[in-house]
Amino acid sequence: MSKSLLENITEVFKAQAPPWACEITSTYVVVAGVNAGRSKVASKFAAELTGGSNAEAARPVVRQLLSLAGFKGSEIAVVVPDEVVRIAFLTAENPTKDPEEQRTFIRWKLKKSVPFDVDTAQVAYRIVGPHRTGSGVDILVALSPRSVVQEYETLFESLDIHAGLVLPSTLAALNLFRPPVADTLFVKVAPDCIATVVFQNRRVQFYRRVTDVSMYDAVYPTVLYYQDKLGGTALDRMYVCGHNDLRPALAEVQEKLGLTAQRIEPQSVEDVFKPALGAIHLKAESVI
């Protein structure tokens, strides 16, 4: 069984990740690999996906890209769309140290708020630190139906490759991001959705995913939440990851909200490859 979403989210930040990754979205497939030191991009290819993101449609495209990229090995990290994963924040007043009891608490808290069976879902979580009020701790949770994760695992098993790690696109891209101490907004633009993430003192404090809206309409409610619920006063900057031409959308956000946008590192790598490279822990500061 792969680590997939069953393991703590902290696992995706460790260096044991495979040196190759594949991201599958509704519109394209990306394959990328890094060198042994994870300081350089060894190979990267992307191709459009015209038949949908199901396994049958993706398999020939994935096989072709792996061949073009010169994939070697038997294990790969798989980056899945944010939409197949539910990401949430919980606060535990008196958290237990037992992992099984922690998962039981998470399932109980989310049982009525997710549109699938929580009891059989794969659960990943990370205790991010004390709650800002000083009471309890904040927990970042990612969970997905087991059947969804298994579909991606089965796709790669059919190619004789083990899906050693499965994680959502935004969390993968965040592995390249080194947030400053100042309050910061991270925006991830995918083909079908926009995710906004607030950092305070380098900690994730809020995540929101929306579909079928403009960037401004995605960012503005997050800014309001930051001010009203997180006690924020001034976002220092907005960091962006998105493979389309975002200049008009970013200009609107800067004009209306005064937020200056900056691409996440490495700026020498196209954004379409960044979630895959983040999943395999590219050391972004080493890339020119």
Domain boundaries, the chain: 9-80+147-167, 83-146, 178-264
Phi, psi of 99, deg, nearest 5:
-60, -40
Identical topology for domains 9-80+147-167 and 83-146? no
DSSP state of 193: -
Q: Report residue 1's pLDDT band, with 50, 70 and 90 as the boundaries.
A: very low
Q: What is the mean pLDDT of residues 99-119?
A: 89
Residue 21 is predicted with a pLDDT of 97
Backbone CA torsion sign across 155, 156, 158, 162:
negative
Residue 271 is predicted with a pLDDT of 94
Q: What is the mean pLDDT of residues 173-195?
A: 93
218 DSSP β-pair partners: none
Residue 208 is predicted with a pLDDT of 95
State yes or no: pLDDT of 3 exceeds 90: no
- Cα–Cα distance between 78 and 129 in angstroms, integer? 28
CATH superfamily of 9-80+147-167: ATPase, nucleotide binding domain (3.30.420.40)
State yes or no: pLDDT of 55 exceeds 60: yes
Residue 175 is predicted with a pLDDT of 92
Residue 52 is predicted with a pLDDT of 65
The chain-wide mean pLDDT, for the chain, equals: 88
The contacts of residue 271 (CB under 8 Å, 6+ apart) are: 241, 242, 243, 263
Residue whose entry in the numeric block shows the structure tokens 């700026």: 267
**Helix (H), strand (E), coil (C) string for 63-88:** HHHHHHHCCCCCEEEEEECHHHCEEE
Identify each DSSP E strand in 115-270 by its residue range. 122-130, 137-144, 162-168, 184-189, 194-200, 203-210, 237-242, 261-263
pLDDT, tens only, 236-258: 899 999 977 899 999 999 999 99
pLDDT, tens only, 56-103: 788 999 999 999 999 989 999 999 999 989 998 888 888 788 888 988
Residue 97 is predicted with a pLDDT of 84
CATH class name, domain 83-146: alpha beta
**Other Cβ atoms closer than 10 A to 242:** 20
CATH superfamily of 178-264: ATPase, nucleotide binding domain (3.30.420.40)
State yes or no: pLDDT of 53 exceeds 70: no
Residue 11 is predicted with a pLDDT of 44
Q: What is the mean pLDDT of residues 5-31?
A: 71
204-to-99, 129, 198, 266 alpha-carbon distances in Å: 21, 10, 6, 21
Confirm if 174 and 186 have CB atoms less than 8 A apart.
yes
State yes or no: pLDDT of 124 exceeds 90: no
